[in-house]
Structure 1
Amino acid sequence: MGRYQNIVYLREKQWISGSPVMFNKGALLRDTSTGKNVLQLQFASVDIRTIRAVIVRIDCLDWTKKCVDALEHTFNDLSVKPGEVFGDREPIILNDENVRTFVFTVTNVIYENETLNTEEYRLIGIKGPQDINSFGIYAEQFKKELMFSGFQTEGIVRPYISDGYWYCACGTMNPGTAGECIKCRAEKRKLAEISSEKYLDEKMRERQAQQKSERNKKNKIVAGLSGAFIICLAAGVLAVKIVIPNMHYAEAVKQMESGQYDAAIEGFSALGDFKDSPQQTVETIYRKALRIKENAESTEEYEEALSLMDSIKDRKACEDMIQKTKFDMAGFMLENAETVQDYLDAQDIYNSLADDMDCEEKLLECKYQIACLYSKTEVHAESARELFMELGEYRNSEKCLAELLAEHIELTDAYKQAYEYYENGSWDSALEILSGMDPNNESVKELSVKCYDLKYKAGLEYWSSKNYAEAFKEFNSIKDYKDSAEYLDKIKKIQEQQEAEKKAAAAESSVSLGELTSWLNGNWSGDGSYWKNVTFTKITDDSMMLDGTFTRESGRVGSAAKISKSSVQLVFNIDAFGFKDIIVVTKTGENSATVKFWSVTGEGIKGKADIIHLSR
C-alpha cells in the first residue's frame, strides 16, 4: 500500500474574487513511517504575472468543524506562469491527527518583478469543470467547432462561464474579468458562442443537410454515368469497366449512408483499389463500430466495437474514440456490476485510461462499491475498513466505516492498540482500553480473558517467589477472576504478619544499650547463696562494675553489650585465675530480672548455676 495512506481527498476547488491563486485539489495522508498526518496541496495561478512565492494560512478543523490548529506555509522558489499549478510536491506535516477539513487563506503573493500583494483572500468552494461528454450528442460537434476556431482539442472539458469566473475548454479557471484564457488565450466570447447547445444543434443540422446534399449530387452523377454507360456500352469494353464499378461504388456509398454497413463493407472491398474504396471501407468499419458502441447493451458489444476500431487504427486516427469506447464500456460494467470481480474489471479499465482521461471519480466509485460488498462478509471486513479509510469523505464512506467498526470492534484502532498492548505484556493498558468497549462483544470478551489469564499466571509466579507486593498488584486488578480474591486474603494475612514483625523489630531496636545499663544500675537480691546481694554499677553505656557475694574479687569492671531489647551481656576477665565470667541479665520487669552465669576456662565453657531470679 506504500508509505502514505489516504485519509481524505480534498476535491472541491476553492477561490474568491481577486485572489491571484486558487486551490485546485489535495489530500490528507497518513505517513505510516512516522505516524504523522501529512497534507498535500495543489494550487493554481490565475494571475497574468509570474509568481515567485505564496504564503497560505491553513486553519485546521476537526470532525465538529472546530478549529484545533492553525499553521502558515510558504511556497518558495517558484516560477509559476498563468494557469500553472504548484505546491503538490511539498508535504505539510500536521500537529493534530484529528484534523479532517481545512480553510485556506492566501496572505501574501510575491511576483517575479518583486511586487508584493499582501491582501488576504479567504478561499471558498467553487464549481468545477464538467467532462466533455456532458454535451451528450453535441460532444463531437463541439470538438469540430473548437478545431474550426483554431483551439486545441486534446484534454478538453466543457466550458463553464459565469459572472465571477469561467472555465476554458483547456480546463483552466479564469477570473470573470478575463476576456481570454490566461493559459491558452482562447477568447471567452467565442467559447461562449460555440459551447451553446443551440448553436451546436444548428451546426449539426447544417452538417447533416450538407451531407445529404452531397449524397444527392453523387446520385445524380451516378444517374448521368448510367446514361453514359449505355452510350459507352456500344463503344466497347473499356467503358464497361469504368461505368460498372462506378455503379457499384455509388451503391456501396448509398448503403453506408443508410447504415447497411456490412453490405457497404462487402461492396467497397469488392471494388479493390477503385477510387477511394479502401478509405471508404475503413470509414464504413468505423461507422459500424460507432453504431455498435452507441447501441451497446452488453460488454460483448463494446468489445466488438473495440475490435473493429482496433482493426483500422493504423489507417484511421481513432485512438480517442477507442479510449472513449473503453471509458463507456467501463461505465456500463460499473453500472451493471454485481460482484467484487465485476467492479475490479471495471476498475482495471479505468486504471488503464487514467493517464489520458479523468477517471478519478469513477475509480473512487469502484473502490466504494467493492468496500460495500466486502463489508457484508466477515472474512473481508478488514479490507473493507482499509478501503473506507482510503475513501475518506467520498459519498457516505465515513458513515459506512463507523457502522463497520461498530459491528467489528476488532477492526477499530482502539482494539488494535489494546491487542498490541496485550502482545507486548502491557495487560493493564490493554484492559483499560477494553473497559471502554462493549463488554458483550465477543472479541472484547475474548481479549479481556486472555489478559486476565496472563495477569493471573503472573500473580501465581510472584506468589511462588514470595514477592507478595507484586502478587497483590496482579491479583487485586483481577480480584473477580478465578480464585484471585482468596490469594488476596492470604497475602493480606502474610503482609499483616510481616508488618507486626517489622514493628516488633523496630520496637526492639528502639531500646539502647545505655538505657539497659541505666536500668540495671543498682542493688539487687536473688535466690541462691551466692546471689543474695549483688550491686551493678554503670560506668559508661557499655561498661559496668559488679560487686556481690558470688564474686571472686570486688569491684570487677567488665564490658556490656546489648543482646535484645531486654537482655544485656556482661563479660568480666578474671586475670588472677586465668578465666572469664559471662553474665546475661534479662529484664522481666522494671524491678525484676533473670540471670544466667557461665565461666570460660581452658577446659571450655561451664555453666555455674541454673537461672537465677533477681529483684530490687
Structure 2
Amino acid sequence: MSDTYLRLQTYDETLWYPGCPVILEKSALLYDRIKNLQLLQCKFRNIQEKSIRSISVQITLFDHNNQMLGNPFSFQYSQLNVLFHGEFGSQTPIYLPVSNVAKFQIMLKEVTYTDQSRYLDGNILQPLPPLPDSQQSLYEKERKKSTKETAHLPLQKTRHKKRILIFSLLSVLALSLIIGIGYYSIFVIHPNHPYEKAEDDIRSGDYEKSIQNSADYEDSETQSKEIQYQEAGVLVAEGNYKEAIEYYKNIYDYKDSAQLQNQAKYNYAVQLLENGNFEDCFYQLNTLHDLKSFEGSDEVYLECCYQLGIQYTQEGKYNEAADKLNACLDYKDGRQKLIECADLNIEYVIETNNWRDEFLALAMYPPGYDRTAKEKYLESMLRY
C-alpha cells in the first residue's frame, strides 16, 4: 500500500441478504494522509446471470460508540459491465464526508443491468453465516476448489443443477478467453496501458494526472468525467467549494453534477459570508438555481444584504447601500441602518451642493418615515 494511505480496518466478513443479486466480499476503511480524509473501499461480486451496468447504494456511518455520524449518503458505481461472478468496486475509493468513522452500513438501493432491466430494493447488507457442506450447491462446490475466499457465497436458484454446471464451465472458458485477449491487448499491443496508470493515479490521489493518462482512448470521456466527479466530491468534503464548482462545471451533464454544482455554489456563498466576503457572496447567491430550495437560504440572503448595506455605507456608496438595506428592512436593525445611510447621503448632497439630488436623497428614507424635518433642513442648507 502507498504511504499515502493508512489502513484503519479490514472487514473480511461477507455481506448479503436473501435475494440480493450481489455480495460484498470484503471492505476496508483507510485514511488518506494527504487529503486528511477517510475513505471506504468495497469489493462486490455479481452472483446472478445478468451483467450489471450500475449499482446504487446508501451508506450510513458510525463512530466507535455506534453513534451515527451525519446523514446517510448515496453512492453509485456506474459505467460497469460486470458479468456473472465478476467483481467490482475494489478500485473505486469512496471518500467519506465525516471523520472518526469506525463502522458503516450499506443499503442496496438499485441495480441496473445491461439489458436495461432493474432490481429495486432497500435492504441492508448483513453478515452471511457460513453454510454447511450439505447445503452447498453443485456450483458452490466447484467454485470452492478454485476460490477459497468465496466458497460459501449464495447463488440464485435455477431449475436445473446441470444447467448451472454447464453454464459455470462455459463461463470459466469465456473468462479465460477474455483474460487472455485482455492480457495480449494490454501487455503486448499496449504495454504500460494508460488506464492502468490512470487507476494508479486515482489510488494515489493524483486526479489530474489520471485524466491525462486516460485522455486518448475511445471511452476516455466517461473515464475522465468519472475521475473529475470523484475529485469534485473530495474537494467538497475538504470545504474547497470554489474548485469543486469548476470541476462540476466541466462535467455538468454527467450524473448529478448539475445539482451538486448548485449545492457547492450555495456552500461557497455561505463560506464567503462567514469570511466577510460579502460582494462575492451576493454574486454566488444570484447564480443559484432556486435559492429558496436550500435550508436557511432566506437568512443567508438577508444577512448578506445587511452586511453589504453597512459596508457600502462606510465606503460612501449610499445608493448601493440603500438598495441592499431596502431588501432587509425587517431583518435585525435594517430599517435603522437605512435611515443612517440616508442621513449621511443628505450630508453628502449638502457638501457637494448638488441640488439635483435633493429629491433622490429624500426618497432614500424607508416607507413611513417622516421626512418633513429633513426636507426643511435640506432646503435651508442648499439655499444657504
Do the two structures share a fold, i.e. TM-score over 0.5? no
Q: Please report the TM-score for the alignment, with normalisation by the length of structure 2.
A: 0.41
- Please identify which structure carries the higher strand content: 1
Q: Computing the radius of gyration over CA atoms, which structure comes out larger, 1 or 2?
A: 1
Task: Give the number of the structure with larger relative contact order, counting CA–CA contacts within 8 Å between residues 6 or more apart.
Answer: 2
What TM-score, normalized by structure 1, do the two folds share? 0.28
